[in-house]
Amino acid sequence: MAVEVEIVPARGKHCRSIARRMRAADVAEVWRSGRLGPVAALRRSMDNSTAFTVLIDGRPEIMYGVGDLNVLAGIGGVWLLGTDAITRNWRWFLRATAEGLPGLFTRHEVLRNVVDRDNAASIRWLGWLGAAFLGDIDIHGHPFVLFELRRRRDV
């Protein structure tokens, strides 16, 4: 079944819609990493980055973005939070994220973040995108994995 997908600049009203239906793994991750609920995590991420919302059949389902971590070193922080629409539309999601990844490197050579060690699906997806896993980090007593994505250069 074909779905209609539109990517728009993230807006505050998208946060509550996505938060109500956020994937359980994302809810756990934002709590474990920052002691934030879904709405607060989306708002903070949106406010501190260039952020976009993916509308699927007109409904906000995914929010993602990139913010500055170290401007001088060219390092940005990348993030993505969403609903179970990711799982329902997994083929589209894999293709779209692979095709869209180069467009996230507008200001940075390297994009980094951490992923919850328990979030096996996200770890597999990040590996599939080409992420390098740099080691484990303890945040609030829970294990996370530091990862980075590098801008690919055509040789």
User: What's the whole-number mean pLDDT along residues 76-93?
Assistant: 97
Residue 139 lies in a domain: no
| Containing structural domain, residue 53 | 5-111
CA 81 to CA 27: how far, in whole Å? Answer: 9
Q: Structurally, how many domains does the chain consist of?
A: 1
Tell me which DSSP letter residue 109 carries.
S
Q: What is the pLDDT of residues 1-21, one digit of tens each?
A: 678 999 999 999 999 999 999
User: What's the whole-number mean pLDDT along residues 117-140?
Assistant: 98
What pLDDT is stored for residue 1 in this prediction? Answer: 60
Residue 141 lies in a domain: no
**18: domain CATH number?**
3.40.630.30
Residue 148 lies in a domain: no
What pLDDT is stored for residue 154 in this prediction? Answer: 59
Residue 155 lies in a domain: no
Residue 119 lies in a domain: no
User: What's the whole-number mean pLDDT along residues 65-93?
Assistant: 97
C-alpha R_g of the chain: 15
Residue 24 lies in a domain: yes
Reported pTM: 0.94
